[in-house]
Amino acid sequence: MKFKENVIVKIEKNSIAEELGIEPGDILMSINGKPVLDVFDYRYLIQDEYIEVGIKTKQGEECTAEIEKDYDEDLGIIFESGLMDDAKSCRNKCIFCFIDQLPKGMRKTLYFKDDDSRLSFLQGNYVTLTNMKNEDLERIVFYHLSPINVSVHTTDMELRKKMLNNRFADQLMEKLDMLAKAGIEMNFQIVLCRGINDGKVLDKSISDLSRYYPHGQSLSVVPIGLTRYRSGLYPMTPFDKESSRDVIKLITKWQKKLKKEIGSSFVFIADEFYLNAQMKFPKCEEYEDFPQIENGVGMISLMENEFNEYLSGIKSKNIKRKVSLATGTAAYEFIKKLSKSLEEKFNGLKINVYAINNDFFGGKISVSGLLTGRDIIKQLTGKDLGEFLCLPKNLLRSGETVLLDDMDISDIEKNLNIKIRITGDSGSDFIKAIID
């Protein structure tokens, strides 16, 4: 791992670092004489009650601070990078990579392909394990980074090499064996490509991965996302109604089998397949503890359950109000259904629901999380939006008010001359945004 200077950018007030006179601009050199390569080294090394911290001041002087503290007490140092190291980029050229399907001219961060086990642990990102050396795996085991989210895609190793365009992709099972033996919990993912890793190939993959249970906690199967910017890329066919039903039928068979054998369904189907298939969603309990919720698995069932529970606990009342909601085409009928329930509950409430076609990425992209500001503005201009417009939280950058095309919520408000409310992820948040 390439060493990078750990530049300190901020010192927390009333912290150990402030008492020692450590300042922004100083550099952390070592702890107990050992170099600090990244955030996991740092967290591990500062746990002791007595530590020696090597600092290089911004004036260039090197010194050692002897610190006595409570076990696991933080020093109050904030670094230039959250990882204290550059995130490792992906060297695969996957035939289904969404980033390769982005148009030119978007913000630079959207084009970065990460394949970093630390981000898997910290943020839930998925890694292929193809870019990891033995020392990286040993660090996962040493620090017991768990759970790790692994992009598998197929357990047919020759096919995996072709799908990832990486000749080392066939070493996957040995690495999974090593992690499982060390007690590292794993969640698996398969991005399903029609006619490539579905059918009998998917059947084999589920069989192989289910053997890792309980260390392999869950497996999600999600459909490939196809934009209109696939010129020169591997030809792909989107899942339609019938092919989506075939996927659901195969996986449902495995869920029933595994539930009997290991006590868990283990493999879970992305909501998008049910939307494509126009089939009823499973009940909440069938998703167990929602291990793959962040991967778009079970979100709709959970939201509907929360919506119904919260709505049943509210007294009916008159609400003379007209509002509007915008969503992707995939979830339009679902959002329309929830809105109708609210209108029936609250006399005088009128909700206009609008499905936004994703012209920016292309018609095959139908989820709300990939909507852009320019499509929302173009398609809602002149429409009856009522008192305010509700937009889903998942179309925003985390912790910010910016959409994928760098348009801010305030830009949409100005262009449409409407106040915007952001609806949260839960069913209760959805209701509150409309009636509060």
DSSP 193-248: -TTTTSHHHHHHHHHHHHTTTTTEEEEEEEEPP--S--TTSPP-----HHHHHHHH
Confidence band of 374 (pLDDT split at 50, 70, 90)? very high
- Residues 73-92: tens digit of each pLDDT: 889 888 766 555 555 556 77
- Measure the CA–CA gap between 391 and 252, rounded to whole angstroms: 33
pLDDT band at 96 (very low <50, low <70, confident <90, very high): confident
Identify the band that residue 381 occupies on the pLDDT scale cut at 50, 70 and 90.
Answer: very high
Is 202 within 8 Å of 190 (Cβ atoms)?
Answer: yes
The pLDDT of residue 35: 85
Tokens 């890792």, residue located: 212
Cα distance between residue 44 and residue 368, in whole Å: 40
Secondary structure (3-state) at 185 = coil
Nearest to 23 by CA among 74, 48, 59: 59
pLDDT (average), residues 309-319: 92
pLDDT score for 367: 86
Q: 2 pLDDT exceeds 50?
A: no
pLDDT (0 to 100) of residue 131:
79
Using CB atoms within 10 A of its CB, is residue 78 exposed (0-12), middle (13-18) or buried (19+)? middle
Q: What is the pLDDT of residue 39?
A: 75
Arithmetic mean of pLDDT over the chain: 88
Distance CA 367, CA 331 (A): 7
Report the pLDDT value the prediction gives residue 125, as an integer from 0 to 100: 77
pLDDT in tens, 32-45: 988 887 777 887 78
Q: Answer whether the bond into residue 214 is a cis peptide, omega within 30°.
A: yes
Q: What's residue 370's pLDDT?
A: 87
Which residues share a beta bridge with 54?
30, 64
Could you report the per-residue pLDDT of 405-419, keeping only the tens digit for each? 889 999 999 999 999
Q: Across the strands, what pairs with 321? A: 349
Mean pLDDT across the stretch 393-416?
A: 87
Q: Which of 16-25, 99-108, 246-255 has the highest mean pLDDT?
A: 246-255
Give whole-number Cα distances, 212 to 129, 173, 253, 364, 423, in Å. Answer: 16, 10, 19, 34, 38
What is the distance, to the nearest Å, from the Cα of residue 292 to the centroid of all Cα atoms in its chain?
9
pLDDT in the model for residue 306: 95
Report the run of H or E that residue 394 belongs to, with start and end: none
Residues 202, 423: Cα–Cα separation, whole Å: 36
What integer pLDDT is reported at residue 1 of this predicted model? 39
Domains of the chain: 6-79 (2.30.42.10), 99-297 (3.80.30.10), 304-435 (3.40.50)
Tell me the average pLDDT across 308-312.
Answer: 95
